[in-house]
Chains A and B, each alone.
Chain A
Amino acid sequence: SQTIHQWPATLVQPVGSPLSLECTVEGTSNPNLYWYRQAAGRGLQLLFYSVGIGQISSEVPQNLSASRPQDRQFILSSKKLLLSDSGFYLCAWSLAGYEQYFGPGTRLTVT
């Protein structure tokens, strides 16, 4: 069966510091991978998605970037965090464009 991991689970970072969140999927090959953010009082917002190694599509212009160095690894990064980057970051995977399954998430607080 497929399993999706995210780490860290929680993170507190000062404004202006860098960020690296990692997501890995087990038990499947060539999944579509997604990064979403859920800010307080707001809905889930799609940030990036990837259909393969090195292929990244950005949905929302911002100070975040994503990379997919391996088939089942998806990384979300920032060079300098803003207060508005606080939120619950969720990685998801799917096969052939059907149901998406979410990881446990990383709760980021920027202070």
Chain B
Amino acid sequence: QKEVEQNSGPLSVPEGAIASLNCTYSDRGSQSFFWYRQYSGKSPELIMSIYSNGDKEDGRFTAQLNKASQYVSLLIRDSQPSDSATYLCASSGGGADGLTFGKGTHLIIQP
């Protein structure tokens, strides 16, 4: 059974610091990986996708993928209070497959 594991938190980070979020996945056939941000009561919003080993940067966000270790991470630089949310890690086998989600990490940015 495909699983994505995340630490549920809460993860508390001071404003302006780097927030580091991690997840692991069980299915070695997974090809695509995604990070979503979900504010309380709202639907998930895609913030990063990564398909190959290494780092991918977009503004203050950096996604990292290590397929050998089956490990995905998200770094948020210069954390802002508006970054406080639940971050969902998801994997896909590719094609039209649906996503397998972790339960999310609750991130709190302290002003």
Contacts and interface: CB of A to CB of B under 8 A. Distances in A.
Given A100-B46, A105-B43, 20 more contacts: A34-B98, A36-B98, A43-B88, A43-B102, A44-B44, A44-B88, A46-B100, A49-B96, A49-B98, A51-B96, A59-B98, A90-B43, A97-B97, A98-B32, A99-B34, A99-B46, A101-B46, A102-B44, A102-B45, A104-B43
Contacts of B45: 102
Interface residues on B, range: 20 to 34
Interface of B: 32, 34, 36, 42-46, 49, 88, 90, 92, 94-104
Nearest to B45: A102
Interface string A7-46: 0000000000000000000000000101010000011111
Given A100-B46, A102-B45, A105-B43, A42 B103 contact: yes
Contacts of B34: 99-100
A51 B45 CA distance: 22
12 contacts: A32-B96, A44-B44, A44-B101, A46-B98, A59-B98, A90-B44, A97-B95, A97-B97, A98-B32, A100-B99, A102-B36, A102-B43
Contacts of A34: 98-99
A87 interface: no
Contacts, number: 54
A108 B59 CA distance: 36
A59 B98 CA distance: 9
Interface of A: 32, 34, 36, 42-46, 49, 51, 59, 88, 90, 94, 97-105
A23 to B, nearest CB: 12
Nearest to A32: B96
A34 B44 CA distance: 14
Nearest to A6: B43
Contacts of A88: 43
A103 B43 contact: yes
Q: Which residue of B42, B49, B96 has the most chain A CB atoms within 10 A of its CB atom?
A: B96
A36 B92 CA distance: 14
